[in-house]
Amino acid sequence: MNPVQRSRNRALMRFVLLPMIFLTVALLGGLRIDIDTHAFIFIPPPLITLILSVLLMILFVRGHAIELRRWVTSEQPTLTNISHVLTLLTLYFASAQALNSVLPERGLIFWLFSFFFLWTLWNNQFSNFDARRLLRSLAVLFGTAFFLKHMFLASLFSPEGGWAKKVAGFLLEVGTLGTLDYQVFAPATGYISFFTLALYVGGLILLTPSPEPEEGSAFALLRAYQNLPPLERMAVRASIAGMQDNQPALPQEVSMETETIEIKGELVEAESEETQGRMQN
Partner 1 sequence: MQHRLIQSVGIAWTILYSVFIIWIYATEPRSFKEVAAGAQAATGTYEIDQGRFNAALDMFHREQFRAAREEWQLADPGMRDARTQFYIAYAFYREGWGRVYYDKELFKQGLDAVNRAINLAPEGTLAIDDPDLQMHTAAELKAELEKGLEPSLGDINPFKVFRKRK
Q: What residues make contact with partner 1 under the rule CB under 8 A? A: 7-8, 11-12, 14-16, 19-20, 23, 26-27, 30, 37, 39-42, 44, 79-80, 82-83, 86-87, 90
Least Å from the CB of residue 197 to partner 1: 18
For 64: left if phi > 0, alpha if psi spans -120 to 50, otherwise beta; the answer is: left
Rounded to whole angstroms, the Cα distance separating 94 from 142 reads 13
90 vs 275, which CB is nearer to partner 1? 90
C-alpha R_g of the chain: 24
Least Å from the CB of residue 200 to partner 1: 15
C-alpha torsion sign, points 2, 85, 134, 215: positive
Least Å from the CB of residue 210 to partner 1: 17
26 vs 99, which CB is nearer to partner 1? 26
Q: Which amino acid is at 124?
A: N
Least Å from the CB of residue 24 to partner 1: 8
Least Å from the CB of residue 80 to partner 1: 6
53 vs 227, which CB is nearer to partner 1? 53
Rounded to whole angstroms, the Cα distance separating 156 from 138 reads 26
49 vs 87, which CB is nearer to partner 1? 87
48 vs 109, which CB is nearer to partner 1? 48
DSSP string, 134-163: HHHHHHHHHHHHHIIIIIIIHHHT-TTS-H
